């Protein structure tokens, strides 16, 4: 079976929906091919019960659906966010085909794109790849060496503390998800061990009278491009430690230590019921602390340069985590650990695109959102254009650019 359409959008997440909306407003034919069976599956199935956005509600602004609720400074929970996407699709009658997994995208000059999805072959002039950055949960190979009686799950499968077996929990990864889950677990009474890497920094929830997101957007921090990064690999760093739970507060690993969390260095491997750890905890804590210092200095400089009236503020200086004794070998049974939560992020996979449009890390090479082949676009991944390309506050700009490019091309 063969179908034809002007533009195929691969993926029905926030980026794909925004692209479809913008194309529809310009009268351009399109279809969204979404592999899941229902809307907002990543949010519905891949987030825990108490999950909230870490960005304020006022920053939730898919094109044509800017937040209009009564709590602009709150943080939307999982179920409310799912309803937001469901209503967006229904209100705008977006053309989503569910349970439709794209397996290949090929191009032939003169014929356009051939997209295979199940038993259907699609022909299209344009393809917008909006499949996102988070396809395959990252779980290391050495996890196979963990004793079988210890539950191992990725953070996308975590729901709440009571769903885990009794006992201590080892959380591997201290970016946004790992920190939020670790905090919920220890506040519920669990003993928590937390492996801390150095790729995610801390930001204050609020600073000098504003939510941190307001400063990051207005100062241009979220408009940084990959050229501003120290290396291409930095595109894959975890998001800064933050939470919107209970009205939002600062996540601080030193406070975790004060509250009884055992902080560990980077995990190296596992064997014989033990995990081996690097002696880099203090180094990684220093990176987290320095990130906050750099961010607040940038904001201070921005305020001074632009003459903004904002109250001065000095953040609490916590150093407790540096008192933690380095543990290089952790015996899981002796520590009473019954669960390991792998919060190490995801691997992304764009192998369905059978075209040479990727760099050595598998990241798409684009001019703005456009790849080197005519009519091929990428949207929804951070750093495709700028940092905010992957979040609700920024994906609409990229979607509008793509729609205008397609409309201008014919």
Contact 91, 106 (CB under 8 A): no
Q: What are the pLDDT digits (tens) for 163-198? A: 999 999 999 999 999 999 999 999 999 999 999 987
Average pLDDT across the chain, whole number: 95
Q: What are the pLDDT digits (tens) for 210-227? A: 999 999 999 999 999 988
- Retrieve residue 82's tokens: 């799912």
pLDDT score of 89: 98
d(CA 319, CA 317): 7
Does the pLDDT of residue 10 top 60, yes or no?
Answer: yes
d(CA 146, CA 270): 6
Burial of 50-79, coded b for 16+ CB within 10 Å and e otherwise, reads bbbbbbbbbbbbbbebebeeeeeebbbbbe
Q: What are the pLDDT digits (tens) for 283-304? A: 999 999 999 999 999 999 999 9
Q: pLDDT grade, residue 255 (50/70/90)?
A: very high
Does the pLDDT of residue 410 top 60, yes or no?
Answer: no
Q: What are the pLDDT digits (tens) for 28-63? A: 999 999 999 999 999 999 999 999 999 999 999 999
Contact 408, 377 (CB under 8 A): no
d(CA 333, CA 251): 29
Torsion sign over Cα 10, 15, 19, 21 = positive
- Overall average pLDDT of the 277-281 stretch: 96
Q: How large is the greatest C-alpha to C-alpha distance in the chain, in angstroms?
A: 67
Q: What are the pLDDT digits (tens) for 145-155? A: 999 999 999 99
pLDDT score of 3: 92
Q: What are the pLDDT digits (tens) for 318-358? A: 999 999 999 999 999 999 999 999 999 888 889 999 999 99
Contact 364, 395 (CB under 8 A): no
In order of their start, the domains of the chain are 2-135+348-408 (3.50.50.60), 138-345 (3.50.50.60)
């Amino acid at each position: 079976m063969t179908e034809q359409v002007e533009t195929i959008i691969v993926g029905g997440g926030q980026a794909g929906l925004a692209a479809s909306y913008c194309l529809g407003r310009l009268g351009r034919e399109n279809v969204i091919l979404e592999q899941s069976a229902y809307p907002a599956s990543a949010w519905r199935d891949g987030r825990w019960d108490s999950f909230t956005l870490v960005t304020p509600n006022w920053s939730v602004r898919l094109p044509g659906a800017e937040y209009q609720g009564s709590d602009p400074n709150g943080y939307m929970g999982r179920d409310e966010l799912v309803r937001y996407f469901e209503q967006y699709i229904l209100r705008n009658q977006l053309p989503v085909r569910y349970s439709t997994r794209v397996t290949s995208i090929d191009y032939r000059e003169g014929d356009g794109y051939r997209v295979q999805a199940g038993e259907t072959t699609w022909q299209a002039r344009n393809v917008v790849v909006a499949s996102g950055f988070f396809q395959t949960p990252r779980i290391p190979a050495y996890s196979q060496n963990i004793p079988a009686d210890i539950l191992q799950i990725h953070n996308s499968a975590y729901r709440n503390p009571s769903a885990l077996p009794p006992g201590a929990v080892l959380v591997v990864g201290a970016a946004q998800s790992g920190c939020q889950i670790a905090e919920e677990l220890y506040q519920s009474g669990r003993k928590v061990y937390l492996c801390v890497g150095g790729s995610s920094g801390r930001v204050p929830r609020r600073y000098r009278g504003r939510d941190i997101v307001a400063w990051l957007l207005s100062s241009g921090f979220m408009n940084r491009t990959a050229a501003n990064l120290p290396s291409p690999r930095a595109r894959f760093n975890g998001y800064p430690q933050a939470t919107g739970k209970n009205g939002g507060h600062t996540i601080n690993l030193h406070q975790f230590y004060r509250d009884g969390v055992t902080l560990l260095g980077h995990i190296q491997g596992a064997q014989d019921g033990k995990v081996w750890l690097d002696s880099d905890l203090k180094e990684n804590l220093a990176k987290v602390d320095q990130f906050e210092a750099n961010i607040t200095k940038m904001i201070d400089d921005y305020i001074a340069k632009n003459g903004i009236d904002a109250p001065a503020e000095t953040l609490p200086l916590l150093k407790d985590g540096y008192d933690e004794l380095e543990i290089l070998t952790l015996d899981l049974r002796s520590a009473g650990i019954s669960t390991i939560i792998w919060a190490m992020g995801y691997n992304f996979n764009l192998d369905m695109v059978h075209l040479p449009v990727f760099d050595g890390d598998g990241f798409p090479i684009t001019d703005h959102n456009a790849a080197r082949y005519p009519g091929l676009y990428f949207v929804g991944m951070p750093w495709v254009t700028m940092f905010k390309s992957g979040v609700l506050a920024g994906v609409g700009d990229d979607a509008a650019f793509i729609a205008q490019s397609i409309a201008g091309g014919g």
